[in-house]
Amino acid sequence: MIQIAKKEFELPRGLAAESKVWIYQAERELSNKEVAEMTALLNTFVSDWAAHGKNLQADFRIFFNRFICLFVDETSHGASGCSIDSSVHFIQQLERTFSVQLMKRTQVAYLIDNEIQTIEMNELSDLAKKGQINSSTLVFNNLVKTMGEMEKAWILPAGESWHARLL
C-alpha cells in the first residue's frame, strides 16, 4: 500500500487483477465536498453501468482527491464500446458539473515533498534541466491498463516509466 501525504492508495477488493482501469486525472486537487458529491454520483453510475443489457462488475476509487479511477472486471462480462462511451460521457458530465478538467491527457502528475504537482508534459524537460525533478522523482503513470498493473506501476520513479524520455 502506498501512502502519500497521509492518504492511502488501496485498490478495490473482489475484482480480478486483470480488471480494466481508466484513470482520469483532475487538473487540480478536488475539495472534500467535491469528492463526496462525486462519490455519490459514481456510486450510482457504477451500480447501473451495463454492457449489452448486463450489469458490469465494476467499481471506482477517487485517490488523493485528484484521480478518478473506474474498474471493470471482465472475467464474467466485458465492457463494450457503448458502455465505455457511457463512462466517457459520465466523466464529461462530472467535468461540467464540477468545473474541472478530467480528460486532459497532456498533464503529468508527480510528487515533490509528498505533494502532488501537475505540469504540462512538454514542460518536464525544463524542470529536469533546472534540477527540480529527476529520474527518481515519483510520477503517476496513468497509462496503466489493468488493476494489477496499477498496483505495481502506477506510481514509480520517472526513470522507470515512459516519462524518462521527457526528462
Average pLDDT for 139-164:
91
Long-range Cβ contacts of 117-122 (<8 Å, 24+ apart):
118/25, 118/27, 118/28, 121/166
Look up residue 95 and give its three cell numbers. Answer: 467535468
Q: Is the pLDDT of residue 37 over 50?
A: yes
Q: Is the pLDDT of residue 27 over 60?
A: yes
Helix (H, G, I), strand (E, B) or coil at 2: strand
Distance CA 71, CA 29 (A): 21
Q: What are phi and psi of 57, to 5 degrees?
A: -80, 100
pLDDT tier at 9 (50, 70, 90 boundaries)? confident
pLDDT tier at 74 (50, 70, 90 boundaries)? confident
Maximal CA-CA distance, the chain? 53
Q: Is the pLDDT of residue 1 over 60?
A: no
Look up residue 148 and give its three cell numbers. Answer: 494489477
The whole-number pLDDT of residue 35 equals: 97
Q: For the chain, what are the domain ranges? A: 2-98, 107-166
Average pLDDT for 76-100:
87
Do the beta carbons of residue 141 and residue 154 sit within 8 Å? yes
pLDDT digits (tens, 9 = 90+) for 104-139: 989 999 988 888 999 898 888 888 889 889 988 999
